[in-house]
Structure 1
Amino acid sequence: MFSSIVKNAAEIFDFVLVLSAGPEAQKAYKKLGWTIFPNLNRYVAILNKKRFDTFVGKNSFEQSDFQNQINLERIKVLPSNFDTFWEETKIRFPITTNRTKNYLNWRYIHHPLIDYHFLVLKKNDKMVGYAVIRFETNNESIKAARIVDLIVNKEKELEIFQQILNYCQNKVDFVDFFCSGNFFEEVLKYLKFYNVLDSVPVVFNPLDPNRKHDLNLQFTSKLKNSELNKCENWYIVKGDSDQDRAN
C-alpha cells in the first residue's frame, strides 16, 4: 500500500522530497530507486554549560562566547525591501525553498500556534539577513532555541550567528540548527557550534530522549538535471518539513 502511494505521487509530480522518513519508509524509497542523501547536519551551540552537562551526564563541548550587543530586530511585518534581499541572496543556494513573502507569512509570521521569533539583521536600513527562532522552554530539564530557518548574505554570516547567540543568551541552555550542505560550516565551527546528532534530544514538547535524533533526506524527480544529485547543492532546514510543528 505504502509503495503504491509513493509511486502514484512520483507519477503525478515532477519532483517529490521527503525529510525524516522512518526506517521502514526509507527502505521502501531505496527499493523504488530514490536518491538518498546523508542526514542533515545538526549544529549545537552550548549557552549554559553547567545545565547542559548535567542533562547529558558528562563533560561536553566548550560553551560558545557571547557579546552584549544585540543587533537583531524581531518583526511582525516583512520589510518593504525583502523581495530585493531574497532575489540577491538566493543565488547562494542552488536548491532550496523559494522564500516568498507569502510563504514566510504563512509559514512563520502568521502561524496560529507557534510563537516564532522572526529576526532581521539590517545594515544602513537594508536587510542583509534573517533568522527564525523557536524557543522550547516548557520543561525544567533542558531549554532549547531552534534555528528553523536562516538566510543571510555571505559577508554577514559571522555576524548573524553571533547575534543569534547574543539574542538567546540567558534564555536557553543551547541552540541547535539542522541544515543540509556546508554553506555555513566554517563560521559555525568558529563560533563553537558542534555538529552532533545524538547528544541531546530533538523533541521537547514533551521532552522525548528516545525519538530518533537525525533528519534524513531523500527525493525522486522526473527532471533531467545532474545538479540535483549533488548533496552540496541542497540547502534544507528544519522549517522545510513537518518536523517543526505544534505538538
Structure 2
Amino acid sequence: MQSVRYLPQHQSAIEGLLDDVPFKSSIWQWQFEAMAGDEGFDPVVIEKDGRIIGFNGVIPADVLYRGESVAALWSCDFYVDVTCRGQGVGRFIKQTLVKKSPLIMTFGVSEAAAQVLKRIGWVQATDVYHYRYTRLWRKPRYLAMQLLQRFNLLRGLWRRAVPFDCNLQWTESLPEAVEVDALWQRVEAGYQKVVRRNYRYLNWRYQQHPLASYRFLCARDSNRGELLGMLVVREHHGIVRLVDWVGALKDEVLPRAMIRDCLFHYRAAHQFTATTTSATGFSQALTDLGFFPSRTRPAFFVTSCLPQDQDPAQGWFLTAGDSDGEFLQAARNHYQATGMGKGEYANS
C-alpha cells in the first residue's frame, strides 16, 4: 500500500468508503475545499493494487497557540476499507497524516479511532465535558438528572443575581464582518489555545454550511451598541444545541445572561446540550444555570511537533462547533427531515 496525492477523480471512490454518510457529496466542497487555500485539499489517501482502501480528511485551522499563530489541521473522516481492517492501514494513515502539519487535532472520535491514536502517541485532553439541561420532568429515569440540575441551580443562585446591562437580539445571520472581527480582536489575547473565531471562520462554519441552519444570539452594549458576545445555536426536534460561544474567555456574567435568554427563548424545547472545556466563563455559566456534565466525555486528541510542547492537549477552549461530528449531525438531521434518508451518524 502507498499514500497517493488526492485528485478530484478520487472523490467517488472515497465516498464509497464513507457508506454511513450518504449526504457526503452535498457537503464535500464546503467541508474540504472551501477553506483549503492555495495548495488545495490535501488529505491522506491510501491505495493498494489500484484501489483506494483508506482515507483521512483534513480541514485547515487558524489556531492561536500560546500567543502564536499556527497553521494547524483538523483530522476528520478517518476510514479504512472493511476488507483491510486489522492490517495496519489505520496506523499507516495516521503516520502519514502527522507529516502534513506541526499541529493536528481531532474532536469527537469513535472508540476504535481513539485506540489507534493512543497507540501512536496522540495526547487526549482531560478537561472536555458534554453538558445537558433537561425539562423531561415526568420520566423516572431522569430523576438523578433532575436532582443534579436543581442542585446546580441552587448553587449558582447567588451568581445569577449579578446584574448585566446589555441588549440581546436573535438573528438568522452573523453581524457584519467588521463587528465580528473587532470582537475577536478584543478578546483573543485571553485565550491560550483556540481556533480563531474571526468572521471568515464563523461565516464558513455556520452560514455557508449547505445542509444546516444556525441562529445567533448577539449581545450589545446598551449605550454604545458595541458587539460584546455571540452564542451560536441549532435546534432540532426539541433539542437545542449551544454550538459555539464568542466572547471573553473568563467572563461568566455575559454568557450566563445569554444562556438564560436561550432557555427562555426556546421554552418549548425539552433538552439543551453544550460541549466545552472546563475552567472557562462559558462552562461556569452553564453550571450556574443548572446544566450538568454527562458521564461520557467527548474525545479530543492532539499531536504536536512544535518546539517545547510538553502538554499539547491541555489549555484549549473548545465547543461543539469545533467538532466535525456536530456539522455532520446537522447535515444528517437535514437529510432525515427532508425524507431523503434515515439512520444515525457514527463519527469515525
- What is the one-letter code of the residue matched to 1:14? P
Provide the TM-score with structure 2 as the length reference.
0.57
Runs of at least 5 residues in structure 2 that lack an aligned partner in the other structure: 1-88, 333-348
Question: In structure 2, do the counterparts of structure 1 residues 96 and 30 end up closer, same or farther at CA, with 3 Å as the change threshold?
Answer: same
| 1:222 match | 305
Structure (1 or 2) with the larger CA radius of gyration: 2
Deviates more, 1:95-104 or 1:165-174: 165-174
* CA distance in structure 2 between the partners assigned to 1:230 and 1:224 by the alignment: 15
**Aligned mate of 1:243, from 298, 306, 325:** 325
Same amino acid, percent of matched pairs: 18
- How far did 1:227 drift? 6.6
**Aligned mate of 2:261, from 166, 191, 202:** 166
**Aligned mate of 1:136, from 236, 242, 246:** 236
* CA distance in structure 1 between the partners assigned to 2:269 and 2:310 by the alignment: 39
The 3-state SS of whatever aligns with 1:72 is strand
* CA distance in structure 2 between the partners assigned to 1:122 and 1:53 by the alignment: 38
- What is the one-letter code of the residue matched to 1:218? F
Question: In structure 2, do the counterparts of structure 1 residues 135 and 163 end up closer, same or farther at CA, with 3 Å as the change threshold?
Answer: same
- Kindly indicate whether the alpha-carbon contact (under 8 Å) linking 1:131 and 1:150 is maintained by their aligned counterparts in 2: yes
- Kindly indicate whether the alpha-carbon contact (under 8 Å) linking 1:158 and 1:187 is maintained by their aligned counterparts in 2: yes
Provide the TM-score with structure 1 as the length reference.
0.79
| 1:38 match | 126
* CA distance in structure 2 between the partners assigned to 1:181 and 1:87 by the alignment: 23
* CA distance in structure 1 between the partners assigned to 2:250 and 2:305 by the alignment: 36
The 3-state SS of whatever aligns with 1:146 is strand
The 3-state SS of whatever aligns with 2:130 is strand
Report how many aligned residue pairs link the two structures: 222
CA RMSD, 1 decimal: 2.7
* CA distance in structure 1 between the partners assigned to 2:312 and 2:284 by the alignment: 23
Flag the structure with more relative contact order, 1 or 2, with Cα contacts below 8 A and sequence separation at least 6.
1
| 1:209 match | none
Question: In structure 2, do the counterparts of structure 1 residues 104 and 154 end up closer, same or farther at CA, with 3 Å as the change threshold?
Answer: closer
* CA distance in structure 1 between the partners assigned to 2:133 and 2:240 by the alignment: 10
Give 4+ residue runs of structure 1 displaced > 4 Å after superposition.
Answer: 63-67
Question: In structure 2, do the counterparts of structure 1 residues 155 and 94 end up closer, same or farther at CA, with 3 Å as the change threshold?
Answer: closer
- Please list, as runs of the form range in 1=range in 2, the aligned pairs for 1:18-97 lying within 5 A after superposition: 18-38=106-126, 40-46=128-134, 48=135, 51-54=136-139, 56-58=141-143, 60-61=146-147, 62=149, 71-79=168-176, 80-97=178-195
- Kindly indicate whether the alpha-carbon contact (under 8 Å) linking 1:75 and 1:120 is maintained by their aligned counterparts in 2: no
